Amino acid sequence: MDNNAIISMISLSSFLLASSLVVLGFKNSPRQVIGLRVGYFLFVVGTLSTTVEALQSGSTATLLAAAVAWATIISWFVWKLELIGAFTAPVIALTLLSHIFFLPHARVPSSSIDTRSLQIHIVAAVIGQTFAILACGLSLLFLWLDKKLKNRELNELPVRYPAFTTLTKALNRSLWIGFAFITLSLLTGAIFSLNGQLDNIQNMYPKIVWAILVWTWYLCILVLKEIRGYQPQKTARMSLIGFALMSLSWFGLLFVGPWGAQ
pLDDT digits (tens, 9 = 90+) for 56-94: 887 888 999 999 999 999 998 888 887 888 899 999 998
- Domain positions in the chain: 3-255
Q: What count of residues does the chain have? A: 262
Calpha distance 96→231 (Å, rounded)? 35
Calpha distance 62→243 (Å, rounded)? 19
216 pLDDT higher than 90? yes
Q: Which range among 89-103, 143-157, 180-194, 246-260 shows the weakest confidence by mean pLDDT?
A: 246-260
Measured on CA atoms in the order 142, 145, 148, 150, is the torsion positive or negative?
Answer: negative
Average pLDDT over residues 188-203: 65
Local structure of 29: helix, strand or coil: coil
pLDDT in tens, 30-41: 656 777 788 889
pLDDT over 70 percentage in the chain: 77
Average pLDDT over residues 173-192: 88
**Helix extents (H) in the chain:** 3-21, 33-57, 60-79, 85-101, 116-150, 164-194, 205-226, 232-255
The pLDDT value recorded for residue 250 is 62
The pLDDT value recorded for residue 222 is 92
Give buried/exposed letters for 90-109 (b at 16+ CB in 10 A, else e).
bbbbebbebbbeebeebbbb
pLDDT in tens, 133-164: 999 999 999 999 888 888 888 777 776 678 88
pLDDT over 90 percentage in the chain: 35
49 pLDDT higher than 90? yes
DSSP 108: P
Q: Which range among 43-52, 237-246, 249-258 shows the weakest confidence by mean pLDDT?
A: 249-258
